[in-house]
Amino acid sequence: MKTGIFLCECGGNISNTIDLENVKEHLNDEDEKVIVKIHGNMCSGAGQKLLIDEAKKHGLDKIVVSACSPHFHEKTFRGAMKKAGLNPYNLEIANLREHCSWIHKDIPKVATEKAKEIVDAAKAKAELDYALEEKMMKLGNEVLVIGGGIAGIQTSLDLADSGKNVTLIEKQPTLGGKMAILTKTFPTEDCAACIISPKMAAVIDHPNITLHTNTEIQDIAGHRLHFEAKVIKHPRYIKDSINMDQCLICNKCREVCPVSQPNYWEQGIMNREAIYIPAPHAIPYKYLIDAETCLHFVDGSCNKCAEVCPQNVIDFGQKAEELNIAVDAVVVATGFDIFDAKRKPVFGYGKYENVVTSLEMERIVDHIVEKDPPRKVGKRVAFVQCVGSRDKQIGNEYCSRVCCMYSIKLASLLKQAKPEIDIYIFYTDIRAFGKGYEEYYKRSQEMGIKFIRGKPSHFTEVKETKQVILTVEDTLSRDIIETEFDLVVLANGLELSKSSDIVADSLKLAKSDDGFFKEAHPKYKPVDTLVEGVFLSGTAQGPKDIPDTVAQASAAAARVMATLAQKEFALDPVLAFVNSDICDGCEKCLDNCPPKAISMNNEGKAEINEALCLGCGSCITSCPLEAIDLNYYTNKQIYAEIEASLHLKKENEKRILVFADNNTTYRLIDACGVRKMKYTNYARVLRVPSVSRISPNLIEFAFAKGADAVFLGDSPAKGSHFEWANKTTQNNIKTVLNKFKKLKIDSDRLIFSQFTAADLMKFINEINQVAEKIDKLKSIPEDIKKQLFPKEK
Partner 1 sequence: MAIKVKFKDKNDDFYKKIVELSGEQVALCDQCGTCSGGCPFIEEMDINPSEIMRKVMLGQKEVMDSRTMWICASCFTCTVRCPRELDVSKVSEALRQVKLRTAIDEISIADISKEEAKKLPTIAVVGNFRKFTG
Angle between helices 403-417 and 437-446 (to 10 degrees): 40
Tell me: does residue 336 bind ligand FAD (CB under 6 A). Answer: yes
Tell me: does residue 356 bind partner 1 (CB under 8 A). Answer: no
* 96, 279, 402, 616: residue in contact with ligand FAD (rule CB under 6 A): 402
* 145, 179, 432, 623: residue in contact with ligand FAD (rule CB under 6 A): 179
- Partner interacting with residue 254 (select from ligand SF4, ligand FAD, partner 1, none; CB below 5-8 Å by kind): none
CB of 543 to partner 1, least distance (A): 17
Residues 409 to 428 in contact with partner 1, rule: CB under 8 A: 428
Q: Are 76 and 67 within 8 A, CB to CB?
A: no
Task: DSSP letter for 519, please.
Answer: P
Residue 85 identity (one-letter amino acid): G
Give 371: exposed, middle or buried? Use CB within 10 Å, 0-12, 13-18, 19+: exposed
- Partner interacting with residue 150 (select from ligand SF4, partner 1, ligand FAD, none; CB below 5-8 Å by kind): ligand FAD
Tell me: does residue 34 bind partner 1 (CB under 8 A). Answer: no
Total of residues contacting partner 1 (CB under 8 A): 20
**404 vs 555, beta carbon nearer ligand SF4:** 404
**606 vs 707, beta carbon nearer ligand SF4:** 606
- The full DSSP string for 361-416 is HHHHHHTTTSSS-SS---SEEEEEEEESSSBGGGTB-S--SSHHHHHHHHHHHHHH
Contact segment (CB under 6 A) with ligand FAD among 132-140, 537-545, 705-713, 785-793 equals 537-545
- C-alpha neighbours within 13 Å on the C-beta side of residue 402: 26
β-strand pairing of 422-427 with 576-578: unpaired
Q: How far apart are CA 574 and CA 687, in angstroms?
A: 13
Residue 433 identity (one-letter amino acid): F
**50 vs 546, beta carbon nearer ligand FAD:** 546
Task: DSSP letter for 100, please.
Answer: I
Give 161: exposed, middle or buried? Use CB within 10 Å, 0-12, 13-18, 19+: middle
Question: Per DSSP, what are the bridge partners of residue 262?
Answer: 271
Q: Are 729 and 737 within 8 A, CB to CB?
A: no
Interface mask toward ligand FAD for 203-232; x: CB under 6 A: -------------xx---------------
- Partner interacting with residue 457 (select from ligand SF4, partner 1, ligand FAD, none; CB below 5-8 Å by kind): partner 1
Residues 461 to 480 in contact with partner 1, rule: CB under 8 A: 471-475, 478, 480
Contact segment (CB under 8 A) with partner 1 among 391-399, 570-578, 587-595, 680-688 equals 391-399
- Partner interacting with residue 578 (select from ligand FAD, partner 1, ligand SF4, none; CB below 5-8 Å by kind): ligand SF4
**22 vs 483, beta carbon nearer partner 1:** 483
* 120, 266, 495, 545: residue in contact with ligand FAD (rule CB under 6 A): 545
Q: Is the alpha carbon torsion for 638, 639, 644, 650 positive or negative?
A: positive
Instruction: Tell me how far the alpha carbon of residue 414 is from its chain's centroid.
Output: 41
CA distances from 521 to 153, 396, 529, 541, 719 (A): 24, 21, 8, 12, 12
Q: How far apart are CA 112 and CA 19, in angstroms?
A: 6
Tell me: does residue 493 bind ligand FAD (CB under 6 A). Answer: no
Element (H, E) at 27: helix 20-30
> Three-class SS of residue 499?
helix
- Partner interacting with residue 491 (select from partner 1, ligand FAD, ligand SF4, none; CB below 5-8 Å by kind): ligand SF4
Residues within the interface to ligand SF4 (CB under 6 A) = 256-259, 273-275, 289, 294-296, 302-305, 385-386, 389-390, 399-401, 403-404, 429, 431, 491, 493, 578, 583-589, 606, 622-623, 625, 627-628
Alpha helices in 162-280 (DSSP H): 192-205, 252-256
Contact segment (CB under 8 A) with partner 1 among 162-170, 324-332, 387-395, 605-613 equals 387-395
Q: Are 209 and 160 within 8 A, CB to CB?
A: yes
CB of 294 to partner 1, least distance (A): 44
**6 vs 441, beta carbon nearer ligand FAD:** 441
- Partner interacting with residue 456 (select from ligand SF4, ligand FAD, partner 1, none; CB below 5-8 Å by kind): partner 1
Instruction: Enumerate binding residues for ligand FAD (CB under 6 A).
Output: 146-152, 169-172, 177-179, 182, 185-186, 216-217, 333-336, 338, 358-359, 362, 402, 406, 409, 497, 499-500, 502-503, 538-539, 544-547, 549
Instruction: Enumerate binding residues for partner 1 (CB under 8 A).
Output: 346, 386, 390-393, 428, 453-458, 471-475, 478, 480
